[in-house]
Amino acid sequence: MSSSLKQGQFIGSLDCGTTSVRFIIFNQYADILAQHQVEFPQYYPNPGWHEHDADEIQEHADKCIEEATGALEAAGWAKESVKAIGVTNQRETTVAWSRKTGKPLCKAIVWADSRTKNTVAHYETKLKDTGIQVSPGVWKKGQDGIDALRNITGLPLSTYFSAIKLRWMIDNYPDVHKAHEVDDLLFGTVESWVAYNLLGGVQKNVHISEVTNASRTLLLNTATLQWEPSLLEFFQLRESILPKLVSTSEVYGNIAYGPLAGVPIGGLVGDQQAALIGNKCLTQGEAKCTYGTGAFLLFCTGGEIVESKHGLLSTVAYQAGPNSKPVYALEGSIAVAGSAVKWLRDSMQIIETAADINTLAAREKDTGGVYFVTAFSGLLAPYWDPGAAGLLIGISQYTNPSHIARATLEANAFQTRAIIESMKLDSGSDLKYLKVDGGMTNGDLAMEVLADIGGFSVIRPEMRESTALGSAICAGAAIKLFGWDLSKPETLAEVNTKGNREFTSQLSEVERSARWKNWQRAVERSREWEEGVDAEA
């Protein structure tokens, strides 16, 4: 190490998203000192299929760590200044690899992939007719079975969750089937795969899964934070394929190679929970929404599991350490947010860059009566209708590309409001403001539209890498750096406080209600378009 380089105290965050990997190095105030980001290939081999190559994700992760560390040193700081790293990841995306070789057995199935509709239908029938064994000799089936599954996991049966994707892999890929039969299969979500590799791969065989990610598999009992034997039996999965469960903030081991060899990994957390932490929504009643490829709204419910009666999911928000009690959240997921903007850019070619949507939409003061239900792969919360189809309605000869651009921004806002309406009903509390982050929030118009249609204040921080920041906070807290403590939100008071901007609604309540009513009519017309696919709620 060159003696001319300064020593500091920094935290790294490896953010493995749906389309790119980035590594960001933060100081204690969440100022970014160095970063590197690389997009990785997306594979769409059949309609409704969406795959990643797990090896490519790992290669890109290694490259980002190397480049960002190089940039830190170029800026005059020693790489030894990075005291720990956190990892955050796209959730539900399912990786199957070999215990013997440490290599993936097939492409990873991405969270948004909808190939498993028939697998879902099969297990819906099984739940109805056979049910699940909730305790020795006690079976729940039909509606009782559906309720029992919800009570255990907080989730419905859906193409979205990992156990369904894993079951499809075992049933459809001979290599995965064989590995399951001979006990050579390791299953994990992306944090599990990345940690396995960073901590030494097949030599060390550290096979772990963090609880917020595990809570998205349909295999975790969210009350006990243990894998649920009755669900392994239901999905016919061997227990030995499962990772060891760990908390959101603890030291899991040290990086085995590369420029940060020897540095501890101290935080693992699913991307949406990471954004909740990064936005410091750590106490009951606080909410954030991340607008990336999809959009994900989390509402912190504190130490209690709030069971949703209105189409939302109960999920683990974080567990501050191995001996800490979990904190829970209600979650609403929108499958299509930024990907609708990408569709306008790449498929429809009515904008050249994603940022152009705001400029194009600003040319008109409204949508000219156009509503866009962006159900490209069905609808998630609060509708849960895999058979819904994308719908542009209200088109006339008057309609122009600006109206469609604006309708795309409004679709995002309407779906956010639909989730918030459900959250209000479930939690019994009103939402005063929504903290936001993610690529779509860069546009002021998009945020104005969100405040107008939602009828609440939207708060946007200047530094919007909230997901990466969340995993950095977890890692910092694990090694007790900067006095950070996840169970004491006041210890994070100085993190990311610069340049918050608030957007407030400028629409009249009459106008807002009229548009909301029309949106609901549009959604009804989009539903159950694909025949033979039942809505799940």
Contact status, residue 527 vs residue 388, Cβ threshold 8 Å: yes
Q: Would 156 be classed as within a structural domain?
A: no
Query: 462 lies in a domain?
Result: yes
Confidence of residue 535 (pLDDT cuts 50, 70, 90): low
What is the domain extent for residue 441? Answer: 338-526
Tens of pLDDT, residues 153-179: 988 899 989 999 999 999 999 999 999
Give the number of C-alpha atoms closer than 13 A to the C-alpha of residue 510, restricted to the C-beta side: 0
Distance CA 520, CA 203 (A): 54
Q: What is the CATH number of the domain that holds 438?
A: 3.30.420.40
The residue with tokens 């410091």 is 280
Tell me, yes or no, whether 196 lies in a domain.
no
Cα distance between the two ends of the chain: 59
Tokens standing for 23?
């590594």
Distance of CA 330 to CAs 299, 311, 373, 418, Å?
5, 10, 23, 14
* Residue 461 belongs to a domain: yes
Kindly state the average pLDDT of the residues 52-73: 98
pLDDT at site 372: 97
* Mean pLDDT within 491-496: 91
Q: Which two tokens stand for residue 351?
A: 């904008």
Dihedral sign for Cα atoms in the order 192, 195, 200, 206: negative
pLDDT of residue 373 exceeding 90: yes
DSSP string, 135-181: ETTEEE-THHHHHHHHHHHS--S-TTSHHHHHHHHHHH-HHHHHHHH
pTM: 0.87
Closest CA to 267 of 221, 213, 314: 213
User: Per the domain annotation, does 285 fall within a domain?
Assistant: no
- pLDDT of amino acid 537: 45
The pLDDT value recorded for residue 3 is 63
* String of DSSP letters for 366-424: S-TT-EEE--BTBB-TTT-BTT---EEES--TT--HHHHHHHHHHHHHHHHHHHHHHHH
Total number of domains constituting the chain = 1
| Beta-carbon count within 10 A of 488 CB | 12
pLDDT of residue 531: 72
In a domain, 517, yes or no: yes
Record the tokens describing residue 519, joined without a space: 């949106």
Asked if residue 31 is part of any domain, the answer here is: no
Give the pLDDT confidence score for residue 533 in this predicted structure. Answer: 57
Q: Which residue in this structure is represented by tokens 């940022």?
A: 355
Task: Find, among 383, 129, 389, 82, the residue nearest to 261 by Cα.
Answer: 82
394-444 pLDDT, tens digit each: 999 999 999 999 999 999 999 999 999 998 888 887 787 899 998 889 999
Query: What DSSP character marks residue 299?
Result: E
355 lies in a domain? Answer: yes
pLDDT band, residue 137 (cuts 50/70/90): confident
Query: Worst-scoring range by mean pLDDT, 61-65, 201-205, 293-297?
Result: 293-297
Least confident of 267-276, 332-341, 428-437, 451-460: 428-437
Mean pLDDT across 3-19: 93
Determine phi and psi for 436, rounding to 5 degrees.
-130, 155
Q: In this model, does residue 114 exceed pLDDT 70?
A: yes
